Structure 1
């Protein structure tokens, strides 16, 4: 049913203070591991097939089309053990502000969409 209807998200711009740096974590044995720091504010530039995907999972035609016109801003706060995401949609009538916390290293995280349906973040 969803074949060919999956949305593609492109080139979210990032606005941040300072430079794109790598965070350095040190484990209990004293080994360090460099990983990119994704903290900052990201703005979605475009998506493809979003309307088809939303209709395939049960949204009505008008809401699916309106979602393609929305401007999405995502704020990421990266810590050693978790990623905190804040999603804001403009205009705010389409979706409330949402916050999610994802543990780093978790195999999967259960979430729900605006309609309360379960989603799985892998």
Structure 2
């Protein structure tokens, strides 16, 4: 039993180690203020992937740009599901392009929600 605990603890320690020599430095994101036209574009794109687009209720939307000028945005949306009930606030994330907004993730399971929130935080758009 003690050997199993030792192996388990060793595995956690080794898996937590990272080499700084091969790691890329974290990307810098600057807050980005969205225009009302960009917010409308984001709303339209997110509505386009929902089961009931007209039911969408949007919350906070946060945007940031990286060193290459790529603008990413994260926000909250609550919309009706196939049964006609509201699902509760779900996070979404995507990228603003010259052609509009490309949603990368909208709502989903608890694991998808957690992953979306982690990516939002990493790109400077923590909700």
Greater fraction of residues in strand: 1
TM-score by structure 2 length?
A: 0.32
Select the structure with the greater relative contact order (CA < 8 A; seq sep ≥ 6).
2
The TM-score, its normalising length taken from structure 1, stands at 0.33
